Amino acid sequence: MPKPLHPRELRASQDARSWRPPLSRRGFLTATAGTAAALGLAAAPARAATARRGPFGRHGSPAARLTPRTLYVDPLGRGDFTGVRDAVAATTGSGWTLVLAPGTYRETVALDVTRTEATWIGASEDPRDVVIVYDNAAGTAKPGGGTYGTTGSATTTVQADGFTARWITFANDWLRADHPDITGTQAVAIKVQGDRSAFHHCRFLGHQDTLYADSPALATFARQYYAHCYVEGDVDFVFGRATAVYEQCHFRTLNRTDLAAAPYGFVFAPSTAGPNPLGYLVVRGRISSEAPDAAYKLARPWVPSSDTTARPMLTVRDTRLDAGIDAVAPYTNMSASFPWQNQRFAEYRDTGPGARITVPENRPQLTAGQAESATRAACLGDWEPWKGEC
C-alpha cells in the first residue's frame, strides 16, 4: 500500500486489559517472563501461576501430552521445540495444537495451506507473556536481493483454513526512526488469509499495516473472527479484504512526533472485493488514542491496483470512539479516483467524542432495519467461533 511516512520511534501503548507504565516498543515486547527479571519488572500473576504449574500451565507437557497432535514450545528447552517455526515444520496435515510457554519468539513463522485446523495457545493465558515478533519492513533488503514488500514483511503468516489462536501477541517491532533510508515502511505483524480464522484474547502490535486481515484470492471470501483482542498502530493498521468481525476489541492509535499536522494515520483500510457483500464489522469495541484529539481518521478505502473493482466495506457499531478520532471528517480517500463516499462505510449507535455527528453527510448511519443484518452471525454464517472454550 503506497503510504510513505517516516516518524520517530514511538512509545508503546499499554494493552487493553491492563494499563502499565510505558516502555519503549522493544522494551514492551521483551518484558515477558523470560526477561522481566532482567528489566526489573514484577511478574504478572498469570506468569507466577504458570511457573508453579510448569511452563505449559494447565495445557499438559511433553511428559503428559494432551493429545498425540499436541506439541510444546519453550525457548528455555523444556518443550518439544524452542521455536514456533520449527514446531510448525514438524506438523503435517490437519489438527495440530501448539502450546507456547511464556517467552519472546523472535522469528518469522508461516502456516501454509496444508496445515489446516491448527490451534496455537499461549500457555499462561495472558497474551503479554507469549510474543512472536520480528522486524522486517516492506523496504527491508532480502538476503537474495530485492525487498520483502508488504506481504513479505509479516512476522506471522497464516494461509491455512481453520486456524485458532488464544492468548498470544503477534508483533512487528520495526521502527522507522532506526531506518531513515527505507521508504517502504509497511511492517506487518500478522497476515491472515485462511477461512475460519479465529483469535481470542490476542494482541497485535506494530505501526503501519499491523493486522493484515485478508483472503487468498479475489473470489475467496475468507471469514475471520477477533474477540477481546487489542490492536495498535498508526497507518492503516487494520487492513485487507477478508470478511472479518472484531467483537469487543480495543484499537489504539499511537502518537506521532514527526508530523506537523493531522492526520497522523488511519485505523481501518478495508479492500473488500466488489462481489463480497460482507467486509469488516466492528461491534462493541473501543478506539482510544495516545495522540492529540482528532489526529486520526477512522478509515480510508483501499482499492488496490490488483483489484480496481473493490468496494471497501466497514461497519462500526455500538463502539466507543474516543477523542483521537476526527469526528467532523472521520473518513478520507486513499486515492481521489475512489472516493470514500462511493464505498460501503457505515456506523450505528456509536458513542464517545469521536462519534459525535456534527456534519451528517460525513457520518453515514445504518437504519435500525439495516443494523439487523450487521451482526456476527450474518457475517460468519454457519461458523460460530464465539462458542466453546476461549
Rounded to whole angstroms, the Cα distance separating 124 from 96 reads: 19
* Whole-number Å distance between alpha carbons of 226 and 224: 7
257 near 230, Cβ under 8 Å?
Answer: no
Catalytic-residue membership of 236: yes
Assigned C-alpha cell, 265: 494515520
Residue 125: strand pairing partners: none
Determine contact, residues 299/341, Cβ cutoff 8 Å: no
Options 129, 135, 161, 209, the catalytic residue: 209
Of the candidates 135, 236, 322, 326, the residue annotated as catalytic is 236
Handedness of CA 370, 372, 373, 379 (dihedral sign): positive
Q: Which spans in 37-166 are helix H?
A: 45-53, 84-89, 149-152
How many Å apart are CA 103 and CA 122, to the nearest integer?
10
Residue 44: count of CB within 10 angstroms of its CB: 20
For residue 214, indicate whether it is catalytic: no
Dist CA 212 CA 215 (whole Å):
9
| Structure-block grid coordinates of residue 324 | 483521537
Say how far apart CA 185 and CA 182 lie, in whole Å.
Answer: 7
The letter for the amino acid at 307 is: D
**Is residue 72 within a helix (H) or strand (E), and if so which, with residue range?**
strand 70-73
The burial of 115, by beta-carbon neighbours within 10 Å (0-12 exposed, 13-18 middle, 19 or more buried), is given as buried
> What distance in Å separates the CA atoms of residue 322 and residue 211, rounded to the nearest whole number?
21
Preceding amide of 263 cis, omega within 30: yes
Q: How far is CA 70 from CA 40, 79, 95, 189, in A?
A: 34, 11, 9, 25
In the chain, the amino acid numbered 160 is: A
Active site residues: 209, 236
